[in-house]
Amino acid sequence: MPYLNLESLAAVSAETFQQQRPYPWTRMQNTLTDQGWETLRASLPDMAHFQRMVGVKRAHGQAPHNRGILHYVEGMAVAPPWREFIAELHGPAYDAFLRRMLGFGPRQKYILTMEWYYAWQGCSVSPHCDARRKIATHIFFFANDQDWPRDWGGDILILDDEGRYKAHSAPGFEDLKVAASLDLRNNGSLLFQRTEHSWHGVRPLQAPRPDIYRKLFIVTINIPSFQVWWRRVRGKDPDGFPYKLAPRHGVAAGVPAD
**Strand (E) or helix (H) holding 97:** helix 92-102
In this predicted structure, which of 72-86, 151-165, 202-216, 218-232 has the lowest mean pLDDT? 218-232
pLDDT for 244: 67
Q: What are 88-134's pLDDT values in tens digits? A: 999 999 999 999 999 999 899 999 999 999 999 999 999 999 989 89
Is pLDDT at 246 greater than 70 in this prediction? no
Is pLDDT at 257 greater than 50 in this prediction? no
**DSSP label of 79:** -
> What is the average pLDDT across 155-184?
96
Instruction: Say if residues 191 and 101 touch (Cβ distance below 8 Å).
Output: yes
Q: How confident is the model at residue 42 (pLDDT cuts 50, 70, 90)?
A: very high
Measured in whole angstroms, the distance separating CA 216 from the mean position of its chain's CA atoms is 7
Q: CA-to-CA distance for 103 and 18, rounded, in angstroms?
A: 9
Q: CA-to-CA distance for 16 and 20, rounded, in angstroms?
A: 6
